[in-house]
Each structure stands twice: as C-alpha cells, then as structure tokens.
Amino acid sequence: MDPILAGCFRRFASTLLPRGYAVFAADLLGHGRSDGLRCYMGDMEKIAAASLSFFKHTHYSEPYKNLPAFLFGESMGGLTTMLMYFQSEPDTWTGLIFSAPLFVIPEPMKPSKVHLFMYGLLFGFADTWAAMPDNKMVGKAIKDPKKLKVIASNPRRYTGKPRVGTMREITRVCQYIQGQLLQGDGAVSDGSWYGRRGDMPVIITVAV
C-alpha cells in the first residue's frame, strides 16, 4: 500500500497490532502503487477478485490459516470489500468491518444519468475518459478535517475529473449490493441489515 495513503488507516492498524492482530493492506487496481489506469474502475468484479486473491493467499498462508480473519473496507473500498465477500466461499471470513461504506450514493454525489447515457452511446469508447462532472465527492463524504488533510498531502491522489467507466460501475455495483442485501434471509431494522451467510452472521449498519 502507498505509505502516505496508508496514513489514513494507520490509526486503525495501530489500534489492532498491540492487541495481537496481524494487519495487511493492498491498494486497489488503479490506485496507489497498484497497476492500472489511475482511478479507473471499469470492472469492479475483476478489481475485487484481484484483491481477494491477495487476501485469501495471506489468510491461508501457514502462520494465519487457522486464525480468524476479517475483511475491512472504507468508502469505495467498502463497496469492493462487499464484492470480495460475495465472491468468497461462505465460511472464508470470520467477519466484515466497514467504515462509511459506499453502498448508497448520496443524492448530491450521484453522477448525471444524462452524461452516463450519452457516453454509453459510444459503446465503451469513452469509458476511460476523465469527463464526468466533479461533484467533490471526497470533500462531501469525509467530514473529518484531519483526514482530509492527510488525503490532500498524498502526492499520488487523483485530482482529475471522475472517469466515465468508474462512475458507471460505482452506480451499477451500489444498486447490485442494495439488491443483494434486501433479498434472501436478510432483514432490515432500524437502518441496519441483519443476515447470515454460512455460519457467519452479518450485521451492516450505515451511519449517516
């Protein structure tokens, strides 16, 4: 993981390490030091599969294979983490941890349906274009000034306009995740989702 961007999660890791947990992190494709076009997420299932391969390899390696294992994701990483969970065998993970997961796009941050439709008429040719209106998603989503300062100090952070394919995929996957959470044996109560996959109970609470 990019050492500067890791500053956003250093506090989380430093809380767990003294308690005997091992913490591993990886940049998503197109982010940090990973391969791929900067901040292009044209196929989030493939991006999730690449991350899942790393974390499953770590989980099943000799020092950790008999230990409980959790996945953690924040914001768009939370969306990818949920895809990783759906791609895993039911009993792979002991639990999931989310911080402000991007399961629902707030109204002020939603991409224009008109723009997505018009670019869609180009049959994927415009997918990698950094041409979507910038709705200042990071500034609107993160309210902690200290965290914003850490993000702003990262020389690898993406400052261009959102890519067409990225916004299309985020919109599609958010709708997919919402559909998955509302079907099966899950139930919604007081803004939280309760369900079970294999032997693992799943409770998702999204604080607004």
Give exposure, 53-72, as e/b (b: 16+ Cβ within 10 Å).
eebbeebeeeeeeeeebebb
pLDDT of res. 203? 61
Mean pLDDT value of segment 65-75 = 91
* Angstrom distances, CA of residue 25 to CA of 97, 105, 135: 14, 25, 28
**Quick one: pLDDT band at residue 98, thresholds 50, 70, 90?**
confident
Question: Which of 11-15, 24-28, 50-54, 185-189 is least confident?
Answer: 185-189
Question: What residue ranges define each of the domains in the chain, with the CATH number in brackets?
Answer: 7-205 (3.40.50.1820)
**Quick one: pLDDT band at residue 2, thresholds 50, 70, 90?**
very low
Give 122 or 189, the one with higher predicted confidence.
122
Q: What is the pLDDT of residues 18-38, one digit of tens each?
A: 999 999 988 888 888 888 898
CB 51 within 8 A of CB 26: yes
